[in-house]
Amino acid sequence: MSAQTDVHTPPVRFDSTDLAVDPAELGEFLLGRYVEIRRHARSVCAHPDMWKIEGQPMPEHRQRVFGQLKRLADSGVVHLAFPSIVGGGENPGGNIASFEQIVLADPSLQIKSGVQWGLFGAAVMHLGTEEHHRKWLPGIMSLEIPGAFAMTETGHGSDVASIATTATYDLDTDEFVIHTPHRGAWKDYIGNAAQHGRAAVVFAQLIVEGENHGVHALYVPLRDDNGFLPGIGGDDDGYKGGLNGIDNGRLHFTNVRVPRENLLNRYGSVNSDGVYSSPIESRGRRFFTILGTLVQGRVSLVGASTVASQLASTIGIRYSLERRQFPIPGSSEEHVLMDYQQHQRRLIPRLANTYAMVFAQEVLLELFHQVFSGQADTEEHRQDLETLAAALKPYATWSALDIIQANREACGGQGFLAENRLAGLRADLDVYATFEGDNTVLLQLVAKRLLGDYARQFAKGDLGVMAGYVADQVGEAAVNRSGLRRLAQNVVDFGSTARSIGYVRSTASQRQLLTDRVATMVASLAESLKPASKLPPEQAAELMNAHQHELIEAAWAHSELVVWEAFTEALSRYEDGPTKQVLRWLRDLHGFVLIEKHRDWYLMNGRLSAHRAEAITQYINNRLLPRLRPHLKSLVDAFEPSDDLVRAPIALGEEAKRQEEARAYEGSSLKQ
Amino acid sequence: MSAQTDVHTPPVRFDSTDLAVDPAELGEFLLGRYVEIRRHARSVCAHPDMWKIEGQPMPEHRQRVFGQLKRLADSGVVHLAFPSIVGGGENPGGNIASFEQIVLADPSLQIKSGVQWGLFGAAVMHLGTEEHHRKWLPGIMSLEIPGAFAMTETGHGSDVASIATTATYDLDTDEFVIHTPHRGAWKDYIGNAAQHGRAAVVFAQLIVEGENHGVHALYVPLRDDNGFLPGIGGDDDGYKGGLNGIDNGRLHFTNVRVPRENLLNRYGSVNSDGVYSSPIESRGRRFFTILGTLVQGRVSLVGASTVASQLASTIGIRYSLERRQFPIPGSSEEHVLMDYQQHQRRLIPRLANTYAMVFAQEVLLELFHQVFSGQADTEEHRQDLETLAAALKPYATWSALDIIQANREACGGQGFLAENRLAGLRADLDVYATFEGDNTVLLQLVAKRLLGDYARQFAKGDLGVMAGYVADQVGEAAVNRSGLRRLAQNVVDFGSTARSIGYVRSTASQRQLLTDRVATMVASLAESLKPASKLPPEQAAELMNAHQHELIEAAWAHSELVVWEAFTEALSRYEDGPTKQVLRWLRDLHGFVLIEKHRDWYLMNGRLSAHRAEAITQYINNRLLPRLRPHLKSLVDAFEPSDDLVRAPIALGEEAKRQEEARAYEGSSLKQ
């Protein structure tokens, strides 16, 4: 017999319409620490010259974006991260806060600017020394030197350590010789490579006196006014699934020589005697330090995905609040789409997730800023940042695709028209899931960190006994710093099954359910993988592979927890009042939907009874959604969606106007 | 404590490599009843002139598709459904089997041909009489008259009954006057409307002597060589999220007059005295009969989605069998992507689903053919067909998007390049989820039918008592006819919880789990909605709305069941041998993944123990996936993916060639 019949929540509506959300105040709160920087970047993006022209053919689109890039350079909104000695703002967090808004203009422009300043420029900044900065950064900042970040090869994407391009030191001429040995070693998918790039930071195996010191980066001029320089060739990646305003392409090098000084040598130098040295002894750590600069791209994508989700939610929800379809029985009116339960189910939880992402990005940005501004640039903070970015980048990019798609489908045929932007946004953001670290690969990094933390914690304990778990409550500081709540919550107290829906409603209980799940999954994995340490490498890898799916599930559960924590932490900071009440429902909805999604786990592990698991769905559908329903307009208005940023006609009252016209016609025809 | 540690299935590989799948024999089987027709259509699509040029600008793309359309007309592959008196094949099932292949050429071409022959032509055929057929079908078939199917309006998509365009009979001139009263009544999203359409079947409220007889269809000339005819205007829908080879547009009519004979009057006529008559008395039934012609479009989309899923699976799986990334510990080789468990988890269940869809489409096509060929054109069969199409269209279109996307992501950056087709396929098929009946709306139709069947069955029983459920095993005939297995399986015997994984492995148990879920959900819904019959319409609608999410879930569960049944029925027909063994694993995987997905329900309702629910995942990951792994190449080869149909370079050995080159280089550099 179905539990549904027992725990049925009658569809009586709790009237929440007397609560008034203050969108202006909430909007300010959402813009967070970087409120002014974000508003300024938006104002730059709001100019019609910066708008994406949907459906513009690729060649014109590329040209347009290149022109817009120049405009960004002139506006200075892309210079916030650079050193003050070259006129930068030395504000790494603010820089990303600014960057993430550019998706509102055109995702192609955003990613192209990410290539120029976030990858190419940032590589010179982070991997080079002051001499390099003075020499190249001014031209990079002004766009005098459009450049490429030439790391990925056709043969090796996620596995950077295996790239095959070489940079061999030639003692006789004091130069490096850059060489592409075969087709698989061509640099591929490189933004700015097909057309606009004048130079590139090229990643290659650094070979000195026959010895390979691993992957390093070199500054390599690519083109002058006459095209490619001698020894350099390439190819156009051509039309892509989206982001066609960017000239992605391929590059190959045939014994191309650059001066020794072009090695970006912060983490590895070669002197004129041909002697290699590095401040980081371990080759592995050096590699990960050099790759550490990539974290900026991941942080940026979390922000971009969040802003895109805000835009998509705004368009979908505004249209759904105006569009009517099917008559209300016993009335001459038609239902507004948003009054349908299924429509609420599709869009409101995704709005909650959008809010959660806004807060999660703020936590990530704070940690990023602390590390990259030097305020807290320790190894531990860097590792926390890596892990948090690796957890949030998959979460945010996949969530954005999900949010955009749900809103596009909720708008029906209108959603498919390019002018309403959802389809283009979906296409452009598609690749966010696989570039800058494939989501699946990143989640495995997270899982390894979780397992590592777990092992350290229990280095001398009995891994198999979960009941031995010691409560290790950590202060807010640790949570805020890393977004990584220590997993050892006091699950001891939790043993019994949740007995009431009231129980699940509390913040502490939601936290416990979400945390306990991660902790238990990690413990179980640690137990399963325990034999690996005693196995030969092949067999250890095989054992790991046999649990790869679980590893990724555990990492994802961790991402969910971190995002929920961010929402909760933000909620705790909000001033008491009706807006906070509505925000709490939104956070509860977010938590409930997560718990509902993993009901199977909670049931299998005795954390929820069947009765309560069922009640969660009823509570979502017949309590939380109706309560939030009257506040949707305010909740998207808080995103400060000005007309020149939203632009989609269906989100700007087009539909309401048509309905008025229809009503006027019907009225007049009745009178006749 | 996690159940995972208890029921751990060790990752020992069952070696299934000694089984040889016969792709040729399996391929023949997959092509089903219409094997020759399908192969012929594919051969037409394989010609380079028929290929989509990815990234082609919209104007050129539209022109190219129009030229290809002419080629299709000349080939005759689109005339199979038409009456023999005008040279058609009178083979409705074969016609769709042919049509569904065109997605391999270009989805725009497929949908444009669907507009011309499947909607515009089919409307003349199904809603008109012999006189209309003789007059217009030859020109429609030859493409002399490119035409539009003008039903949807900007203001009303899913709710066709509320369209506002009128066709008013003028007794004085013996004409109908077609009129668009306001902007919301413009015909919108209409294929062939923006450019190529010379005529249209226009749906309008038929008004005779001041009385509205509801929605009817009229044949209306649109353009001559000089453009729109007097009184007709329109607009271009412009760039869309996909399908940009089709000239979707808007149309409006200002007192446009057509002769009385242009009313397609099979289901409703007006004589020259201005008297309306219809062979169908009930206005509601008449409306649904007229709309019944739309079922053909839905059946077509199931087929198109299936073929697109075959293509996507072929591309993703072939690349994953060649592409290598990350070294195998203790080896100089790198792992093939498909050896990673998570990669298997992403792609193999979706291949299983693709197979399931192939078989489900065959069941649907059989029923469609029986109804539309007149072999079994009864009211009951029509209703079964409507319901089955309403269940499978959402299933197939959403599954296709999911399958294409998973394969695109599994191919990383290569998957995003347009030349590898996955991104374009995803974009083109996106709108399949919301056109030809929005998926969410169709699932509600299914739910209503399920509730209706349930109510009839228990008209005099006690709805609240599930235990009273009577076993009503139906013969294969009924299953084959409608794909609707009667829901009243003998759940009485099922009371106890499944105790072993062996239990779940049997076909009967999978069926029982899936069937029982639908039956229980429907029964529970019926109970919840029982009060509706005694409530005033507004309140009844509100009660219904409070369960809308559950209604849609129940309908979706039914879709899953029907598709699983189709796979199982096909398996039972397959000759014993190794191919059948592998197909059985594939079907088991399909069933297990469905049960795993709904574990929460099975647990909440006491149908599976926690232990067994967990064992299902282990069995999928560590038994079924490794067993299927060696047969993936054969399983996609069975789709008969010729190079000129696949075209994506990554699916045609490009990557293997690069790796050979890299290996040759590494070998030679070692020798140096």
- Interchain contact B426–A (C-beta under 8 A): yes
pLDDT surpasses 80 at B462: no
Higher pLDDT, B460 or B416: B416
Residues 194-223 of A with CB under 8 A from B: none
What confidence score (pLDDT) does residue B440 get?
97
**ipTM for the complex?**
0.94
Among chain A residues, CA nearest to B550:
A342
Structure tokens at B672: 């140096």
Residues of A in contact with B647 (CB under 8 A): none
Burial class (CB in 10 A: 0-12, 13-18, 19+), A355: buried
Helices (H), A32-180: 35-45, 58-75, 92-99, 107-113, 122-127, 130-142
Distance CA B442, CA A609 (A): 34
Closest by CA to B607, choosing from B476, B497, B470, is: B497
Distance CA B83, CA B89 (A): 7
DSSP A431: G
What confidence score (pLDDT) does residue A329 get?
85
Closest by CA to B96, choosing from B424, B463, B389, is: B389
Per-residue pLDDT of A541-587, as tens digits, reads 999 999 999 999 999 999 999 999 999 999 999 999 999 999 999 99
The most confident of the ranges A425-429, A613-617, B607-611 is A425-429
CB contact under 8 A, B427 and A423: yes
CB contact under 8 A, A605 and B2: yes
What confidence score (pLDDT) does residue A475 get?
31
Q: In what order do the strands lie in the sheet with B232-236?
A: B187-190, B249-253, B232-236
pLDDT surpasses 70 at B274: yes
What confidence score (pLDDT) does residue B332 get?
82
When scoring A61, A153, A182, A518 by the number of chain B Cβ atoms within 10 A, the one with the most, hence best to mutate, is A182
Per-residue pLDDT of A34-46, as tens digits, reads 999 999 999 999 9
Residues of A in contact with B5 (CB under 8 A): 464, 524, 527-528
pLDDT surpasses 60 at A5: no
CB contact under 8 A, A419 and B238: yes
When scoring A53, A416, A544 by the number of chain B Cβ atoms within 10 A, the one with the most, hence best to mutate, is A416
pLDDT surpasses 50 at A166: yes
What confidence score (pLDDT) does residue B5 get?
33
- For chain B, the average pLDDT equals 91
DSSP A498: B
CB contact under 8 A, B241 and A424: yes
Q: How many CB atoms lie within 10 A of CB A328?
A: 16
Residues of B in contact with A622 (CB under 8 A): 546
What confidence score (pLDDT) does residue B211 get?
96
CB contact under 8 A, B545 and A11: yes
- Interchain contact A330–B (C-beta under 8 A): yes
A262 touches A184 (CB < 8 A):
no
Per-residue pLDDT of B190-241, as tens digits, reads 999 999 999 999 999 999 999 999 999 999 999 999 999 999 999 999 999 9
Distance CA B421, CA B641 (A): 14
Closest by CA to A356, choosing from A483, A522, A519, is: A483
Residues of B in contact with A342 (CB under 8 A): 440, 548-549, 552
- Interchain contact A373–B (C-beta under 8 A): no
Rounded mean pLDDT of B62-83?
A: 96
CA angle B428/B119/B58 to nearest 5° reads: 35
Among chain B residues, CA nearest to A184:
B658
B661 closest CB neighbour out of A184, A433, A605: A184
Distance CA B14, CA B205 (A): 65
pLDDT surpasses 80 at B468: no
The alpha-carbon radius of gyration of chain A (Å, integer) is 27
- Cα distances (angstroms) measured from residue A601 to each of B1, B8, B58: 11, 16, 49
Residues of A in contact with B464 (CB under 8 A): 5
pLDDT band, residue B667 (cuts 50/70/90): confident
**Domains of chain B from N-terminus onward:** 46-292 (2.40.110.10), 294-437+642-672 (1.20.140.10)
CB contact under 8 A, A327 and B162: yes
Residues 258-317 of B with CB under 8 A from A: none
Residues of A in contact with B154 (CB under 8 A): 658
pLDDT surpasses 70 at B34: yes
CB contact under 8 A, B342 and A157: no
pLDDT surpasses 90 at B71: yes
pLDDT band, residue B484 (cuts 50/70/90): very low
Residues of A in contact with B157 (CB under 8 A): 325, 412-413
Among chain B residues, CA nearest to A469:
B1
Per-residue pLDDT of B363-415, as tens digits, reads 999 999 999 999 999 999 999 999 999 999 999 999 999 999 999 999 999 99
- Cα distances (angstroms) measured from residue B18 to each of B352, B575, B577, B623: 21, 18, 12, 16
pLDDT surpasses 70 at B485: no
pLDDT band, residue A501 (cuts 50/70/90): low
Structure tokens at A553: 């599930």
A363 touches A566 (CB < 8 A):
yes
A621 touches A394 (CB < 8 A):
no
Per-residue pLDDT of A172-212, as tens digits, reads 999 999 999 999 999 999 999 999 999 999 999 999 999 99
pLDDT surpasses 80 at B140: yes
Measure B34 CA to nearest chain A CA, in Å.
33
Task: List, in sequence order, every residue forming a beta bridge with A259; answer none if it has no partner.
Answer: A175
Residues 531-560 of A with CB under 8 A from B: 536-538, 540-543, 545-550, 552
**Phi/psi of residue B354, nearest 5 degrees:** -60, -45
- For chain A, the average pLDDT equals 91
C-alpha torsion sign, points B133, B136, B139, B140? negative
Among chain B residues, CA nearest to A599:
B600
Among chain B residues, CA nearest to A427:
B427
A537 closest CB neighbour out of B329, B427, B604: B329
Per-residue pLDDT of B623-644, as tens digits, reads 999 999 999 999 999 999 999 9
Q: How many CB atoms lie within 10 A of CB B477?
A: 8
Rounded mean pLDDT of B611-621?
A: 92
Residues of A in contact with B331 (CB under 8 A): 538
Distance CA B487, CA B472 (A): 8
Higher pLDDT, A288 or B484: A288
Distance CA B445, CA B555 (A): 8
Higher pLDDT, A158 or B572: B572
Which helix (H) or strand (E) element contains residue B43?
helix B35-45
Mutual angle of helices B379-410 and B341-372, in 10-degree steps: 160
pLDDT surpasses 70 at B187: yes
CB contact under 8 A, A1 and B605: yes
Between chain A and chain B, how many beta carbons pairs sit less than 8 Å apart? 297
What confidence score (pLDDT) does residue A639 get?
98
**Phi/psi of residue A88, nearest 5 degrees:** -80, 175
Measure B375 CA to nearest chain A CA, in Å.
36
- Cα distances (angstroms) measured from residue A363 to each of A102, A401, A432: 20, 22, 20
Q: Which residue is it, tokens 């993703």?
A: B316
What confidence score (pLDDT) does residue A504 get?
76
Rounded mean pLDDT of A111-120?
A: 98
Distance CA B250, CA A421 (A): 19
- Interchain contact A424–B (C-beta under 8 A): yes
Measure B125 CA to nearest chain A CA, in Å.
27
